[in-house]
Chains A and B, each alone.
Chain A
Amino acid sequence: MAVSGIVLFGFVVGHMFGNLKLYQGPEAINVYAEHLRTMGEPILPRNALLWVVRAVLLAAVGVHLWSAWTTTRQSWAARGGRYEVWTPVQADYAARTMRWGGVLIALFVAFHIADLTFGTGHPQFAPADVYSNVVRGFQRVPVAAFYMAANVALGFHLYHGLWSLFQSLGWNNPTFNHWRRTFATAFACIVAAGNVSFPISVLMGWVK
């Protein structure tokens, strides 16, 4: 869980920062998108490195989902009878929404790939023109709203996940323990804020 989570975390951070090029105009982001395809050239053929990265990510997603599913089943079986009343004392919203939030994020990722990688259901999809795909895509209000909601969920998921991985991997030391929550909060906010800013900017007409 933690190891695949780190891989996926690295990806969402990179993905968010890469997309900030949206604010530098059509050329910057389209060149960047093209560069992702030509990475590794001329040693490697076009798209080769991209597919290596995709394979790693797909494997990480697989491991993440599989461990989530097995541990969830184990935990659901472990209660053994229902509590008439159960009152949370310390578990925060982020911790309590890890599982359903995760499901929402998985559905979102599937939609996102269909929408902006394959162009399925996209009104005006042009494979090489990432900029206009994003802008046209987010001009559909319900889609933009879904992107925002999913990224807020991602923020919560990252917050609990980032903090948890220190526990799971045993990275625990009085000298940095108080930094773990700060680190988790900071990165969760940066990623969520960055991602949510794209649909907002399009809807507000700042990016068109």
Chain B
Amino acid sequence: MRLTLRVWRQAGPSAPGRLVTYELPDVSEHMSFLEMLDVLNERLTEKGEEPIAFDHDCREGICGTCGFMISGIAHGKMPATTVCQLHMRHFRDGEELVLEPWRSKAFPVLRDLVVDRGAFDRIIQAGGYVAVNTGTAQDANAIPVAKADADVAMDAASCIGCGACVAQCPNGAAQLFTAAKVSQLALLPQGQPERWQRVERMVAQLEREAFGSCTNYGECEAVCPKGVSLDFIAMMNRDWLRNVFRVRRESRATGGAG
């Protein structure tokens, strides 16, 4: 099938960018979106032009490295799909697609479709450590976890840190990502010792980064390739508030000396 791509080309972080049009007369419907870009890049290289830079790694939808906007939707219009797992059969012959990088002040564009998602790493780092016993591996079921809790924790843990939630959000907010990372540990017994300091520090870091402020549009949940639910944002907010009241109570108990 024939496709027209308008791709954001930007030579470097501070270089000006613009949309450049490419015609692809012979796209196979069996290709993934990234394979289609590979073909285009080979042709560009043969012609002596710079290939389009885009991030990718696993190409099986589990690493969170890939991702860009396809005609205004993060990872494209197929729900719960990363661009590496998005197949060309979902597109129409003759369609024109606009490819743009995640646009967020917190994710500066490095080149073409590649952005720097270091802000996410700093939020994770702010969460700190999880206290675990070292030494020989303990028995598999030494710590009982209810099936229902394990399932919900797994849903949160399925976040691959791709950044689509921020890119799609009209506010450029990173609540969904942060909530997933906070909740996956807050829901498990192993996560309890540092539960309160974790939510406090991760939310503080979230606010230090250049993200926007969540107003519950729900766009993040709709484009998240892992279907991470908005419910986790409520859970994170609850833990954050509970921590505020907990700290108040404790500082009263110790006469404010902390």
Contact = CB atoms under 8 A, between A and B. Distances in A.
A161 to B, nearest CB: 9
A96 B216 CA distance: 10
A78 B211 contact: yes
Contact of A83 (B72, B109, B223, B239): B72
A198 B251 CA distance: 52
Contacts of B216: 95, 160, 163-164, 167-168
The 9 closest A-B pairs by CB, nearest first: A170-B238, A80-B105, A172-B234, A78-B172, A75-B212, A78-B212, A87-B72, A90-B222, A71-B213
Contacts, number: 121
B73 interface: yes
A52 interface: no
B56 interface: no
A166 interface: yes
B170 interface: yes
A82 B103 contact: yes
Interface in B219-255: 219, 221-223, 230-231, 233-242
A41 B49 CA distance: 84
Interface string A86-124: 111111100110100000000000000000000000000
Given A86-B72, A87-B72, A90-B218, A78 B106 contact: yes
Interface string A6-20: 000000000000000
A186 B196 CA distance: 36
Contacts of B239: 170
Interface in B141-194: 168, 170-173
A45 B242 CA distance: 41
A79 B239 CA distance: 27
Interface residues of B, number: 47
A22 to B, nearest CB: 35
A91 B170 contact: yes
A162 to B, nearest CB: 11
Given A78-B210, A80-B108, A84-B8, 15 more contacts: A75-B171, A75-B172, A77-B212, A80-B210, A83-B103, A84-B98, A86-B72, A90-B222, A91-B170, A91-B217, A98-B215, A168-B216, A170-B235, A170-B239, A172-B235
Contacts of A24: none
Interface string A65-77: 0000001101111
Contacts of B73: 87, 89
A76 B103 CA distance: 12
B241 A169 contact: yes
Nearest to A174: B231
B231 A172 contact: yes
15 contacts: A71-B171, A75-B173, A79-B104, A79-B172, A80-B104, A83-B100, A84-B8, A87-B77, A89-B73, A91-B170, A91-B217, A95-B217, A163-B216, A167-B216, A168-B237
A182 interface: no
B19 interface: yes
Nearest to B105: A80
A89 B172 CA distance: 15
B69 interface: yes
Given A79-B103, A90-B217, A170 B170 contact: no
A89 B168 contact: yes
B230 A167 contact: yes
A64 to B, nearest CB: 13
